[in-house]
Structure 1
Amino acid sequence: MSRATGPDRRINPYRDDIAAAYLRGEVKAGRFVDGEDRQVKLPCVPLLQRPDADAPMDTQLLFGENFRAYEEKGGFAWGQSAHDDYVGYVDAKALAPHPYKPSHVVAALRTFVYPRADLKSRPATPLALNAKVKVVGAKGDFSEIERGGWVFTAHLAPVDAFVRDFVSVAEEHLGAPYLWGGRESTGVDCSGLVQASLERAGISSLRDTDMQEATLGERLPEPIDFTTLARGDLVFWKGHVGIMVDAERMIHASGFQMRVVVERLDIAMARISRVAGHVTTIRRLPRR
Structure 2
Amino acid sequence: MDSGICARPSQGWSRAGHPCTLQGVAGDARMSDRRFLAANGRVARRDLKGIVDADLFTDGKVYSLAETAWLLHSPGGRAVRQLTFGDRFVELDREGGWSFGYSSKDGYVGHVESACLDRAFRPTHRVAVRSTFALANASIQALPVRDLHLNSEVRVTERSGAWCRITSRDRMYVPAAHLAELDSGDGDVVGWARVMLGTPYVWAGNSGFGIDCSGLVQAAFHAAGLECPPDSDLQEAMPGERLSATDALNAGDLVFWNGHVAIAGGEGTLIHANAHHMSVVEEPTETAAARIAATDTGSVTSRLRPTRVTRLWHGP
Normalised by the length of structure 2, the TM-score is 0.84
Rounded Cα–Cα distance in structure 1 between residues aligned with 2:78 and 2:135: 32
- State how many pairs are aligned: 281
Aligned to 1:75: 97
Rounded Cα–Cα distance in structure 1 between residues aligned with 2:30 and 2:87: 30
Tell me the CA shift for residue 24 of structure 1.
2.0
Tell me the CA shift for residue 133 of structure 1.
0.8
Residues 60 and 287 (structure 1), Cα distance of their counterparts in 2 relative to 1, 3 Å cut: closer
Rounded Cα–Cα distance in structure 1 between residues aligned with 2:286 and 2:229: 27
Does the aligned pair in 2 maintain the 1:117–1:140 contact within 8 Å? no
Aligned to 1:283: 304
Aligned to 2:151: 130
Aligned to 1:9: 34
Tell me the CA shift for residue 204 of structure 1.
2.0
More displaced stretch, 141-150 vs 14-23: 14-23
Tell me the CA shift for residue 12 of structure 1.
2.8
More displaced stretch, 9-18 vs 102-111: 9-18
Does the aligned pair in 2 maintain the 1:219–1:281 contact within 8 Å? no
Tell me whether 1:237 sits opposite 2:262 in the alignment. Answer: no
The amino acid across from 2:123 in the alignment is P
Rounded Cα–Cα distance in structure 1 between residues aligned with 2:62 and 2:30: 28
More displaced stretch, 106-115 vs 59-68: 106-115
Greater RCO, CA 8 A, separation 6+: 2
1:256 to 270, 276, 294: 276
Does the aligned pair in 1 maintain the 2:59–2:92 contact within 8 Å? yes
Aligned to 1:271: 291
* Partner secondary structure for residue 296 of structure 2: helix
Aligned to 2:3: none
Instruction: List per-residue Cα deviations over 1:171-209 (Å, max 9, x = no partner).
Output: 011111100000112111000000111111122222111
Aligned runs of 1:50-65 on 2, under 5 Å? 50-52=74-76, 55-65=77-87
Residues 35 and 125 (structure 1), Cα distance of their counterparts in 2 relative to 1, 3 Å cut: same
Aligned to 2:139: 118
1:186 to 187, 209, 215: 209
Rounded Cα–Cα distance in structure 1 between residues aligned with 2:307 and 2:62: 33
Residues 286 and 34 (structure 1), Cα distance of their counterparts in 2 relative to 1, 3 Å cut: closer
Rounded Cα–Cα distance in structure 1 between residues aligned with 2:114 and 2:106: 19
Tell me the CA shift for residue 11 of structure 1.
1.8
Gaps of 5+ in 1: none
2:114 to 92, 100, 107: 92
Rounded Cα–Cα distance in structure 2 between residues aligned with 1:115 and 1:271: 46
Rounded Cα–Cα distance in structure 2 between residues aligned with 1:5 and 1:80: 11
Residues 269 and 17 (structure 1), Cα distance of their counterparts in 2 relative to 1, 3 Å cut: same
* Partner secondary structure for residue 275 of structure 1: coil
The amino acid across from 1:76 in the alignment is W
Gaps of 5+ in 2: 1-13, 16-27, 310-316
Does the aligned pair in 2 maintain the 1:144–1:150 contact within 8 Å? yes
* Partner secondary structure for residue 124 of structure 1: strand
Rounded Cα–Cα distance in structure 2 between residues aligned with 1:93 and 1:164: 36
Tell me whether 1:32 sits opposite 2:57 in the alignment. Answer: yes
The amino acid across from 2:137 in the alignment is R
More displaced stretch, 174-183 vs 16-25: 16-25
Does the aligned pair in 1 maintain the 2:30–2:36 contact within 8 Å? no
